[in-house]
Chains A and B, each alone.
Chain A
Amino acid sequence: MEQSKVDMFIMSNGKFFEGHQLPAIRDSIASLDDSKWSVLQTMQFKDPTTMLIVSLLGGTLGVDRFMIGDTGLGVGKLLTCGGFGIWAIIDWFMIQDATRQKNMALLQQVMY
């Protein structure tokens, strides 16, 4: 794929991934076929900042975990009132990284 397209993808979607993953993403997109460009462009990623807000407001009910697709953990948080409130607080700090990892998994699904 052309370098300009790769740069465009990184510029518009870089914030959805962890910094140390970006070089690898750049390389693997550059080696992709041009037919995948339309799929890549229309992909919807979860915004880590939005997830942090959701976690702050609804973390005790596990809403944040449900939204990024961790249904099992979401049920766990919901049934235990946010893990006695402790897990909910831990997740305020964990949810952004978890979201970025989920985004990476989604991207890998499309690429391979």
Chain B
Amino acid sequence: MPSHRNNIYLLLSVACMAGYIWLYFAYAATPDTSGPFAEVCIIKHATNIPCPSCGATRSALALLHGDFLDSLYWNPIGILLLIILLATPAWVLYDLCAKKITLQKFYFKTESFLQQKSVAIPAIILLVGNWFWNIYKGL
């Protein structure tokens, strides 16, 4: 499935690029992480309630500034996103150079792993808990 492979690699590369551009402007614009850099969230605009991933940018910025606890407070998802953002380009480059499809295999393995009920239900509970925490914090 060559077309399928290209889809995933292209998509991940574009997503990472967008993430880096976003993070660059956010890093350049905010000396401190007390307020949001820019509010693009549709849910936040429409309902005034933060979405599960609101605060992820502030969290990533706090981690870049070296403040782990602050980043955990803003949103733990930000840490996860930053790890993905760091790991993906290296992995894509490795696969391109070595002409392998390890990332694609990992992607599909993760997908079927997440589709198991025993994994999906705790993940959903964690996420909803995080969401309520976000609302409680009033991000």
Contacts and interface: CB of A to CB of B under 8 A. Distances in A.
Interface of B: 11, 15, 18-19, 22, 40-43, 51-54, 56, 77, 80-81, 107-108, 110-111, 114-115, 127
Contacts of B42: 60, 81-82, 85, 88
Contacts of A75: 114
A73 B56 CA distance: 18
A86 B58 CA distance: 19
What's the dominant secondary structure at chain A's contact region? helix
Contact of B56 (A60, A76, A80): A80
Given A60-B43, A61-B51, A81 B114 contact: no
Given A61-B51, A72-B110, A81 B81 contact: no
B12 to A, nearest CB: 9
A83 interface: yes
Contacts, number: 51
Contacts of A80: 15, 19, 53, 56, 81
A75 B18 CA distance: 17
Contacts of B11: 73
Nearest to B46: A60
Contact of A72 (B22, B41, B111): B111
21 contacts: A60-B41, A69-B115, A71-B111, A72-B108, A72-B110, A72-B111, A72-B114, A75-B114, A76-B15, A79-B53, A79-B81, A80-B15, A80-B81, A81-B42, A81-B43, A81-B56, A82-B42, A83-B18, A84-B18, A84-B40, A88-B42
Given A71-B114, A72-B111, A79-B53, 5 more contacts: A61-B43, A78-B53, A80-B19, A81-B52, A84-B22
